[in-house]
Amino acid sequence: MIREWSYIPSDIYSLIEYLQHYVISRPTVAPYVRAKIQVIAILIKILSSHDFGEQRKKMLDMVETLIRKGDLPKYCRNYLDAYLNFIALPIRFLTMCMTLSESADNPLRMFTVQEESIYSDDPLYMEALERMLGTLLTNFYPTAELYEVSSSQIFQSYIQYRLSRMRENAESYDKREDKKEIAEVEEDDRIKFDNQLQTIGAFGRQTATYSLSLLTELLEKRIQKLCDNLNVLVGQKNSLSRPDSMDDLYEELHWLILIMGHVLCVESEDEPILIPLEIRRCSMNQLENILSPELSSTIIWFLRRISQSYLLPRERYAKISTTILQIFDDDTPGVSWTMDFLLDKVIYNINAFKSEPTIVQETIKLLISLVESKTKASYLLKSEQFKYIIELATKGQYNCPQVVKRGLMHAVVQIGVMLQDMSTINKSDTSDTSISNVKQTLWSQTLESLQHRCTQLISSDNFMSSYYQEEIKIQIIDILESFIGITEGVKGPVTELVFQHTYPILAALPKLLSLYHNYQEIVQLILELFCKYTKAILFHLSEANSERVYEVCLETIQTYARCNSNRLTVDSTAEEDSYHDILLLMQLLTNVLSKDLFNFNYDKQNQCHQSPFKAKSTPADLSFYGLSIIMPLMTMDLLKFPSLCLQYTKLGFAGNKEPQLTIPSAIAIKETAKVGDNNARRITKGVEDLDAYIGDEAFEATGYSVKYPVRHGLVEDWDLMEKFLQQCIFKYLRSEPEDHYFLLTEPPLNTPENREYTAEIMFESFNVPGLYIAVQAVLALAASWTAKNVEDRTLTGVVVDSGDGVTHVIPVAEGFVIGSCIKHIPIAGRDITYFIQSLLREREIGIPPEQSLETAKSIKEKYCYICPDISKEFAKYDSDPTKIKKYEGVNSITKQPFVVDVGYERFLGPEIFFHPEFSNPDFTTPLNEIVDDVIQNCPIDVRRPLYSNIVLSGGSTMFKDFGRRLQRDIKKIVDTRLKLSETLSGSHITPKPIDVRVISHHKQRCAVWYGGALLASDPEFYTVCHTKKAYQECGPGICRYNPVFHSMV
């Protein structure tokens, strides 16, 4: 109830009904509810025992006694009606926050002390405080003036409470054995109190001038006090022991910086990091470095957030403080000084705090944040300290943590990526140093140096006789860590260059894996390198280079299987190690299989290049062959790990527009012993099949073992799959399978054997009269038959499927997918939302930062459309103000309404399908060219039918006039090509015009499901299904081939 405070009825009688309903009518929930009511009662007792009189005290004692005895429900109406008014509690809490005193008897102080003292056993007290603070932030302020006054007092109270806690607990702190260092098992304060700090930061930003001045004053006093203590400590001749008071001082500084960080910056995930609107009106002061591991980590975290938001900001603000611009804007002395300061801090921390993982991790994050933009990278290149960064990255740092080795190389490679698009190091620099010379020097010091070091090590004469020595293993680990850092930092422009220097090392890894197969750390590093390599580099390589990577991946998988088949070990961590290894191998195969879809190399010359190998390997061949090698290594114990096998199942009836149910493909069963009383086992046989739960119920069932019959779209345990289908049909669909024909969909490139197993279950176990296994892209084509302009039913066409995260272009010929021609486009609905969000942010129109993404999504779905000509559309909006729409929203924090004028965003958002360079400079090929390229790669005899039946599917294709614009642009490309052919032939050949048609229909949002429901509800569907009679005559082999609805077409 504390967690759901804002949802509890405010009326006292409704509240009583609420409690009676959940306590009396639902006895199974009563223990949980009683626990929550007990927390509320204790809270009320603490808050009211000091001034409410003896009668109220007696009543609260009685309520607490009834709770402990479990008899509160039947007395609930009498006591709550007479004495309690829960809705007044937050107001009382607010008043106490505003009148917080130094007295030890203060109820808020007693409550918070109680909260921290029992937090390790019961977190409900801390949740209560966090929820009450959240309630005070959102719901109880009728005017802005009251909100500002209350915010300042709550902010001051929280700081006062945090700082006074150090003094109150000084005696208990002195008794702690671990006061000299942070316990490794203790959760970090900024994670443990994250909700409180975010709420207090929001309070502080409401009165930014007061809050920042208060924090600055407190920080200055404590820094001065620390300096005095350090001077005294240095002046001691006989003893250098540190006084205990410095520990309290460090802790106070730690909390002050945490609070300041949450005031100056706002937590943001999947959104650009910006300076809060309130902070732009204020100036800020830099903090001095404080010598403490925990405090150093907090300061680096603080510097990273400040540098991301303030240093050379990429966003352009309508209003911003001139002080911030003079310090942090481009071409100012403050930027160079700040960059040198940050690099000095990075270098110092790497050298001085190698044994502090938290500090070095925050330091590497700071370094990587400095190379995220071209402007910051240019200043970093001009810094004298950058040479030392390269030196740290390239020389053997054998005593450095893993995160340092990877992070340094990540930053250096990312600088190389930035250099690809920079014409000079600095536009104002008059020196003749060209960017090509800088790139040459950079790559020679990093990639070439690392390649030479690795080649020299593994090709030495004594390597085979000394590879097991500790110093050799340390060098191998250091090289692998550096290569992983390279793959983490590489991007499209430098992939070919990186491939040239890394492939020789990649080709040697299978031999290293065979050599070090008993050294788990090196094995996992090699597999992780392959995973990251295939994810970051493979998609940008030509076909010839891709096949070279395929061969090395296949050799690596074969080597791992050979070294681990029939392997016996007494290591207690062997099962967990095998789980991690197989998970990495599965990720490797997934990345390779995605090459057909995520192919960013569109060079036709590369596509026509002949492979140097005898037989051409495709991603699908490698993935399924590798899967066949890995499968024998999978044990039943490994299948208990959910991340290896969790999938989802959708089911419903024909004729529905959407799935009736979507549930996880998990099943919970009772595992019976294999030995025992045979009579007892015979009696329970058959009943066990009924004692199972699927979907979300499987995860909630206690005393059951959770299994996953489906992994990566393929059925692994057919017995469990049969039980799963049994629950789906009888429990959820509540139907008799003997009375229904079934249509099932299959994943791409499903094996014929799986179709046979499916037929055996459906015909023998469920006795279905008919079965059909369909392809998803074909169902999307079938859904397009509902469009008005579709005259002929055909299953030849191109499916343009665009959802929220990805867009695919899939060609289908006579119901069969042409898998080698499928293309992926990194532009979809989510990218449109982000682009609209950035357009709105540039206008500075007062949208709450935490609601900017939600507002952009609503504008996209409600107002956006596709325009025929973007330049003419700008002119229309300039001449006709009525085209500007108004979006009305409500601030989720202040509950105040806000209005947004929606203008150019209406057509600029979805325009990125046809001008992707607006939002993604790394991908500039428009959708119409991708569709044309897909069709041109298909066999020549199906190209005209493909052009005439381009079908839209998915929610991101629902924009008005999307189909018209796509059809027009594809038609232009086709006509231009035909005209060019006629010109090249000297007008001797007149090509026949090609009909281009893009099909839009009102069911395209869920086209796959609707296509299956449509076909399965047609009476002619039964003529193409495999029947039970045919199964009995010919066996399950009849389901290897499924007719493509020729009779229906």
Instruction: Write the CATH number for 714.
Output: 3.30.420.40
Residue with tokens 């009102």: 1002
**Is 525 a member of any domain?**
no
Tally of structural domains, the chain: 4
Instruction: Give the residue-averaged pLDDT of 472-484.
Output: 85
* CA dist., res. 1007 & res. 1015, Å (int): 12
Statement: residue 918 has pLDDT above 80: yes
Closest CA relative to residue 297, chosen from 249, 243, 241, 355: 355
Closest CA relative to residue 864, chosen from 841, 844, 883: 883
Q: How confident is the model at residue 26 (pLDDT cuts 50, 70, 90)?
A: low
Q: What is the pLDDT of residue 14?
A: 56
- What's the mean pLDDT when you consider all of the chain? 73
Q: What is the pLDDT of residue 430?
A: 39
Burial bucket for residue 145 (CB in 10 Å: 0-12, 13-18, 19+):
exposed
AA identity, residue 674: K
Run of H or E residues at 495: helix 495-515
Statement: residue 138 has pLDDT above 60: no
For residue 219, what are its two tokens? 């920080």
- Asked whether 420 and 493 are in contact (CB, 8 A), the reply is yes
Q: How confident is the model at residue 646 (pLDDT cuts 50, 70, 90)?
A: very low
Statement: residue 31 has pLDDT above 60: no
* CA dist., res. 378 & res. 388, Å (int): 16
Statement: residue 52 has pLDDT above 50: no
Which of 912, 940, 962 delimits the end of a domain? 912
Run of H or E residues at 403: helix 402-420
Closest CA relative to residue 396, chosen from 410, 379, 411, 408: 408
DSSP, res 662: E
* CA dist., res. 672 & res. 659, Å (int): 35
- Asked whether 816 and 942 are in contact (CB, 8 A), the reply is no
Per-residue CA distances from 394 to 313, 407, 408 (Å) = 31, 12, 9
> Can you count the helices (H) and strands (E) in the chain?
45, 18
Looking at per-residue pLDDT, the higher value among 555 and 233 belongs to 555
Q: How confident is the model at residue 843 (pLDDT cuts 50, 70, 90)?
A: confident
Helices 124-138 and 107-117: angle between axes, nearest 10 degrees: 140
Instruction: Give the residue-averaged pLDDT of 490-496.
Output: 75
* CA dist., res. 11 & res. 1003, Å (int): 45
Looking at per-residue pLDDT, the higher value among 695 and 105 belongs to 695
> Which distant-in-sequence residues (6+ apart) come within 8 Å of 470 by Cβ?
none
**Is 945 a member of any domain?**
yes
Q: Are both 1019 and 889 inside the same structural domain? A: no
> Which distant-in-sequence residues (6+ apart) come within 8 Å of 145 by Cβ?
none
**Is 181 a member of any domain?**
no
CATH number at residue 855: 3.90.640.10
For residue 552, what are its two tokens? 């090395």
- Asked whether 155 and 211 are in contact (CB, 8 A), the reply is yes
Which of 735, 751, 769 delimits the end of a domain? 735
Which of 705, 735, 765 delimits the end of a domain? 735
- Asked whether 258 and 189 are in contact (CB, 8 A), the reply is yes
Q: Which residues pair with 744 in a beta bridge?
A: 773
Residue 295 CB neighbours (<10 A): 19
The per-residue pLDDT for range 517-572, each reduced to its tens digit, is 888 888 888 888 888 888 878 777 887 888 888 888 888 888 888 887 766 554 55
pTM over 0.75: no
Q: Of 292-301, 782-791, 958-967, which range is least confident?
A: 782-791
Closest CA relative to residue 1025, chosen from 725, 714, 654: 654
* CA dist., res. 156 & res. 932, Å (int): 64
Q: What is the pLDDT of residue 564?
A: 77
Statement: residue 932 has pLDDT above 90: yes
Q: Are both 934 and 888 inside the same structural domain? A: no
Instruction: Give the residue-averaged pLDDT of 951-966.
Output: 88
Statement: residue 584 has pLDDT above 90: no
For residue 458, what are its two tokens? 């593994």
Q: Which residue range is the domain that position 1007 belongs to?
A: 737-826+924-1048
Q: What is the pLDDT of residue 461?
A: 82
Percentage of residues of the chain with pLDDT beyond 90: 5
Instruction: Give the residue-averaged pLDDT of 1028-1043.
Output: 83
Q: Of 86-90, 878-882, 924-928, which range is least confident?
A: 86-90
* CA dist., res. 538 & res. 496, Å (int): 10
Q: Are both 799 and 931 inside the same structural domain? A: yes
Q: What is the pLDDT of residue 11?
A: 46
- Asked whether 989 and 954 are in contact (CB, 8 A), the reply is no
Q: Are both 730 and 653 inside the same structural domain? A: yes
- Asked whether 549 and 538 are in contact (CB, 8 A), the reply is yes
Q: What is the pLDDT of residue 99?
A: 44
The vertex-854 CA angle with 852 and 857, nearest 5°, equals: 105
Q: What is the pLDDT of residue 470?
A: 83
Pairing of strands 797-802, 950-953: parallel
Looking at per-residue pLDDT, the higher value among 161 and 930 belongs to 930
Instruction: Give the residue-averaged pLDDT of 673-696.
Output: 55
* CA dist., res. 870 & res. 852, Å (int): 25
DSSP string covering 305-374: HHHHHTSS-SS--SS--HHHHHHHSTT-HHHHHHHHHHHHHHHHHHHH-TT-HHHHHHHHHHHHHTTSSH
Q: How confident is the model at residue 864 (pLDDT cuts 50, 70, 90)?
A: very high
Instruction: Give the residue-averaged pLDDT of 506-518.
Output: 86
For residue 390, what are its two tokens? 């390269």
* CA dist., res. 964 & res. 968, Å (int): 6
**Is 1006 a member of any domain?**
yes
Statement: residue 683 has pLDDT above 80: no
Q: Are both 976 and 1021 inside the same structural domain? A: yes
- Asked whether 710 and 585 are in contact (CB, 8 A), the reply is no
DSSP, res 164: H
Q: How confident is the model at residue 68 (pLDDT cuts 50, 70, 90)?
A: low
Q: Are both 931 and 1037 inside the same structural domain? A: yes
For the ranges 79-93, 597-611, 841-855, the maximum mean pLDDT occurs at 841-855
Q: Are both 726 and 744 inside the same structural domain? A: no
* CA dist., res. 620 & res. 776, Å (int): 18
The per-residue pLDDT for range 729-767, each reduced to its tens digit, is 888 888 888 888 888 877 555 678 888 888 999 998 899
Looking at per-residue pLDDT, the higher value among 1049 and 999 belongs to 999
- Asked whether 797 and 812 are in contact (CB, 8 A), the reply is yes
* CA dist., res. 838 & res. 314, Å (int): 11
Question: What distance, in Å, lies between the first and last C-alpha atoms of the chain?
Answer: 59
Q: How confident is the model at residue 57 (pLDDT cuts 50, 70, 90)?
A: low
* CA dist., res. 480 & res. 473, Å (int): 11
**Which ranges constitute the DSSP H helices of 565-715?**
574-593, 604-608, 619-630, 678-684, 696-700
Run of H or E residues at 194: helix 194-206
Q: What is the pLDDT of residue 590?
A: 76
Torsion of CA 307, 310, 312, 315, to 10 degrees: 130
Q: How confident is the model at residue 657 (pLDDT cuts 50, 70, 90)?
A: low
Q: Are both 963 and 1029 inside the same structural domain? A: yes
Burial bucket for residue 778 (CB in 10 Å: 0-12, 13-18, 19+):
buried
Q: Are both 895 and 960 inside the same structural domain? A: no
**Is 959 a member of any domain?**
yes
Instruction: Give the residue-averaged pLDDT of 485-499.
Output: 79
Q: What is the pLDDT of residue 987?
A: 79
Residue with tokens 């090698």: 629
Q: Are both 1032 and 934 inside the same structural domain? A: yes
Burial bucket for residue 497 (CB in 10 Å: 0-12, 13-18, 19+):
middle
Q: What is the pLDDT of residue 486?
A: 84
**Is 758 a member of any domain?**
yes
Q: Are both 962 and 999 inside the same structural domain? A: yes
Q: What is the pLDDT of residue 17?
A: 58
Q: Of 151-160, 334-343, 511-520, 966-975, which range is least confident?
A: 151-160
Residue 688 CB neighbours (<10 A): 14
Per-residue CA distances from 884 to 275, 836, 854, 872, 878 (Å) = 28, 15, 20, 15, 10
* CA dist., res. 655 & res. 607, Å (int): 43
3-state SS class at 270: coil
**Is 865 a member of any domain?**
yes
Q: What is the pLDDT of residue 838?
A: 87
Residue with tokens 């330049």: 871
DSSP, res 447: I
DSSP, res 243: P
Statement: residue 969 has pLDDT above 90: yes
Instruction: State phi, psi for 674 to the nearest 5 degrees.
Output: -80, -20
Looking at per-residue pLDDT, the higher value among 437 and 39 belongs to 437
**Is 558 a member of any domain?**
no
Q: Are both 727 and 864 inside the same structural domain? A: no
